Structure 1
Amino acid sequence: MVPVNHDSEVTLEIATAIARLYDRIRASGLSMRESTDFEYFEDTVRATEDRYLMEDFSSRFFDLHGSSAFWIGAWDRAGEPVSVQAAKLENLKDRSLGEFWQQQQRRMFVDPSNQAQLGEDHAHDAFFMRGRIVYHGNLWLRRDARGKGLAEALTQLGFLVSLLKWSPDYLYGLMAARNAEKGFGIRVGYRRFVPRGTHWIAPPEHVRPDDWLVYATRQDLIGLARTIVSADPEDPE
């Protein structure tokens, strides 16, 4: 793993923000685990009500290792899964994120299906994003836990663990347009929004063609950590 380049003050701020989020989530009665065991991740996803495993985090397509991928799960007191999320790092020195998509999206969706057709008019910003880039995805929260602020806290936890581990240049996701328009992205910590993600001429059946590229820079994420640290711990809003 490439050493992160935080100075000590920033590292402490990020760690403090993670601790704040961790305490807030545990106060809701959930236990959590961070893991790099993606066989366990797939088993946990299969135990959820949606059972949706994204191709990006499937052993069918990728060898996922602890140096460049992790996931976080949350369980209730009965040991039933309440939330999952995952993140992985790509070191894109020789190509942009948009160029990377041309290879990886085709690998995951087009090659296995004769019906899917990938275009080239991807999110404009993606063709300028290079360096250490984290993809955050497979975010799921059980229906009875929604609307309580847990989605925001859990997602921010994943963002800041990624920041602490890897100090990426960018962290991004692909978000359904309706969620982006309702402000979920800004609440969790994304700070930049492009009303197109991957360009599909004929999308795979289970992939939304209207997803937005949503992302944050390293400094955006540090700003998120500082906001959490400076907030009143008695007032999660």
Structure 2
Amino acid sequence: MDKRVDPYQDAILDVTTAISYLQTKIGKTGLSLKESSDFTLFEKTVKATEDKYLMEDFSPRFFDLHGATAFWIGAYDERGDIVSVQAAKVEDLLDRSLADHWDQQQRRLFVDPNPQAKFGTDHAHDAYFMRGRIVYHGNLWLRRDIRGQGLAEPLTQLGFLVSLLKWSPDYLYGLMAAASAEKGFGIRVGYRRFVPRGTHWRIAPGHIREDDWLVYATRNDIQGLAELVLRSSSADPG
């Protein structure tokens, strides 16, 4: 019998404590949080925002999304209006790499219904080596009037730590606009590894950015994020 101890098990209390601190920090701004696995409601919620942009990855029209494999978090102001959304889902990629997964999924989502789009084969280098339990984090949105107030970081960190607690993934990744990655947003929210290319498009669909970077973190990276949040909580006079 393998008696090796998973170090993650010893970190669960730290992760839950960090989540609690982030919830409290966000709550002090007057926002309330709701976690859900109802992606029909997520679609309705996103469609009510100013951007109205629902990523195909989190659309119930394309995927069967349920509590075991996906969640979303909404933040609401004191009137009950939505001010932020984010979503995450997990894939078990034990038999193929993330790049292989993109080849299959992105082609089905974007190329098959749109013959003008041309999908390439030279994806982000690291994606060819990423296997295992992999979380995709995306559809992050913050209402314009509360941007620049320091809320994007704790909200996104919350999503990362909830993903860690639920699934203990090997990797958590996103696709980030080059400008955001270069300005350091990714490192502030918890990504620790950056590749200046995402999925490779020869001709991208009209609503897909061609300059996305693959940004990701390992399980240990996200555990380190929890520790960083705890250190910040110790120094927080509030």
Fold shared per TM-score above 0.5: yes
Work out the CA distance in 2 between the residues paired with 1:71 and 1:107: 24
Deviation at residue 233 of structure 1 after TM alignment: 4.8
- Are the counterparts in 1 of residues 30 and 77 from structure 2 also a CA contact under 8 Å? yes
One-letter identity of the residue aligned with 2:36: S
Work out the CA distance in 1 between the residues paired with 2:169 and 2:233: 28
The 3-state SS of whatever aligns with 2:209 is coil
The 3-state SS of whatever aligns with 1:53 is coil
Deviation at residue 7 of structure 1 after TM alignment: 4.6
One-letter identity of the residue aligned with 1:194: V
Aligned Cα RMSD in Å? 1.2
Deviation at residue 112 of structure 1 after TM alignment: 1.3
Match of 1:184 in 2: 185
The alignment status of 1:91 with 2:92, answered yes or no, reads yes
- After TM superposition, the score normalised by the length of structure 2 is 0.95
Report the CA distance shift for 1:233/1:120 in structure 2 as closer, same or farther (over 3 A). same
Deviation at residue 60 of structure 1 after TM alignment: 1.6
Structure 2 unaligned regions, length at least 5? 1-5
Q: Any residues of structure 2 matched to 1:1-237 within 5 Å, and which? A: 7-233=8-234, 235=236
Work out the CA distance in 2 between the residues paired with 1:21 and 1:235: 12
Deviation at residue 234 of structure 1 after TM alignment: 5.7
Report the CA distance shift for 1:83/1:94 in structure 2 as closer, same or farther (over 3 A). same
One-letter identity of the residue aligned with 2:14: E
Matched length: 232
Work out the CA distance in 2 between the residues paired with 1:8 and 1:112: 44
- After TM superposition, the score normalised by the length of structure 1 is 0.95
Identity of aligned residues (%): 69
Work out the CA distance in 2 between the residues paired with 1:84 and 1:200: 27
Work out the CA distance in 1 between the residues paired with 2:21 and 2:63: 33
Work out the CA distance in 2 between the residues paired with 1:33 and 1:215: 25
Work out the CA distance in 1 between the residues paired with 2:30 and 2:205: 38
Deviation at residue 6 of structure 1 after TM alignment: 5.8
Deviation at residue 34 of structure 1 after TM alignment: 0.3
Map Cα deviations across residues 148-179 of structure 1 (whole Å, 9 max, x no partner). 11000000000000000000000000000000
- Are the counterparts in 2 of residues 136 and 171 from structure 1 also a CA contact under 8 Å? yes
Work out the CA distance in 2 between the residues paired with 1:226 and 1:121: 36
One-letter identity of the residue aligned with 2:160: F
Structure 1 unaligned regions, length at least 5? none
Work out the CA distance in 2 between the residues paired with 1:204 and 1:8: 43
Match of 2:3 in 1: none
Work out the CA distance in 2 between the residues paired with 1:7 and 1:56: 28
Map Cα deviations across residues 80-103 of structure 1 (whole Å, 9 max, x no partner). 110000000000000000000000
Map Cα deviations across residues 203-234 of structure 1 (whole Å, 9 max, x no partner). 00000001000000000000000011112456
Work out the CA distance in 1 between the residues paired with 2:38 and 2:224: 30
Map Cα deviations across residues 109-144 of structure 1 (whole Å, 9 max, x no partner). 111111111000000000000000000000000011
The 3-state SS of whatever aligns with 2:191 is coil
The 3-state SS of whatever aligns with 1:18 is helix
Deviation at residue 235 of structure 1 after TM alignment: 3.6
Work out the CA distance in 2 between the residues paired with 1:209 and 1:129: 21
- Are the counterparts in 2 of residues 6 and 167 from structure 1 also a CA contact under 8 Å? no
Work out the CA distance in 1 between the residues paired with 2:71 and 2:110: 23
One-letter identity of the residue aligned with 1:23: T
The 3-state SS of whatever aligns with 1:171 is strand
